[in-house]
Amino acid sequence: MIQTINLQKLFATEEVETTALNGINMEVKDGEFVAIMGPSGCGKSTLLNILGLLDNPSDGEYNFYGTEVAKMTERQRAQLRKGSIGFVFQSFNLIDELTVYENVELPLLYLKTPPDERKVRVEEALNRMNIMHRRNHFPQQLSGGQQQRTAIARAVVAKPKLILADEPTGNLDSKNGEEVMKLLGELNDEGTTIIMVTHSPYDAGFAHRTVNLFDGKVVTENIRV
């Protein structure tokens, strides 16, 4: 379970100070599928980055599966991140120099998984995302949907407890978007906790509940019935 208390995030540049997050209290239980919505610039990505341990809050508390992480260094966060969180981005963020297979293999390499097991798990993830036939292609040679499926394969290959997705369908057409959402839904059905930022009410419909942000604050929460 993850929980934030009064989470604040300030961005101070030379000219202006932006309050991206202003007192976020939020709780996500194991196995939940939560959508985050809100107008552009309201702080969705900022929140997701903090939840994903990519960034530190300026203030507040963040309990990540029993550990207080708000004040951790990047090094400590990286340790905690490893193997326990999978990320999916709107712009895929695949490494162009690596093949599909190698992109997916990457998290396991960093986890020092033995080669036999690595092979089994990568192939499993590729099959599951239905891109096994593209395993030796480079990202540039794939369609957007295929790229995003690769990115999801990479996010799940280490079997993380938590998957964070920032507008995963933002760059995809509706057909490919639908497919990605189904995959996320399946993963969630198997017990993975998912937090997803989206602009699409349709996509949000796949989640158990939706958190609406406005100006760095949680304004409403809708629970699917």
Ligand X SMILES: Nc1ncnc2c1ncn2[C@@H]1O[C@H](COP(=O)(O)OP(=O)(O)OP(=O)(O)O)[C@@H](O)[C@H]1O
154 binds, among another protein, ligand X, Mg ion, none (CB under 5 to 8 A by kind): another protein
**3-state class of 77 per DSSP?**
helix
| 46 binds ligand X, rule: CB under 6 A | yes
* Least Cβ distance, residue 19 to Mg ion (angstroms): 16
Report the sign of the C-alpha dihedral through residues 11, 47, 84, 102, in that order.
Answer: negative
CB-CB contact of 33 with 206 (8 Å): yes
Q: Is 107 in the site for ligand X (CB under 6 A)?
A: no
Sorted by sequence, the CB contacts under 8 Å of residue 38 that are 6+ apart come out as: 44, 212, 213, 214, 219
CB of 13 to another protein, least distance (A): 11
The DSSP H or E segment spanning 95 is none
The reply on whether position 201 binds ligand X by CB under 6 A is: no
Q: How many residues bind ligand X (CB under 6 A)?
A: 11
Task: State the minimum distance, in angstroms, from the CB of residue 104 to another protein.
Answer: 10
The CB-of-159 to ligand X minimum distance in angstroms stands at: 28
Q: Which does 202 bind (CB under 5 to 8 A by kind): Mg ion, another protein, ligand X, none?
A: none
Phi, psi of 80 (to 5 degrees): -70, -35
Q: Should residue 150 be labelled a site residue for another protein when binding is judged by CB under 8 A?
A: no
Residue with smaller CB distance to another protein, 152 or 204: 152
DSSP assignments along 171-209, one per residue: TS-HHHHHHHHHHHHHHHHTT-EEEEE-S-HHHHTTSSE
Amino acid at site 4: T
Kindly identify the residues of this chain, within the stretch 101-130, that bind another protein according to CB under 8 A: 106-107, 109-111
Of 78, 143, 191, 202, the one binding another protein by CB under 8 A: 78
Q: Which of 1, 95, 120, 219 binds another protein (CB under 8 A)?
A: 95
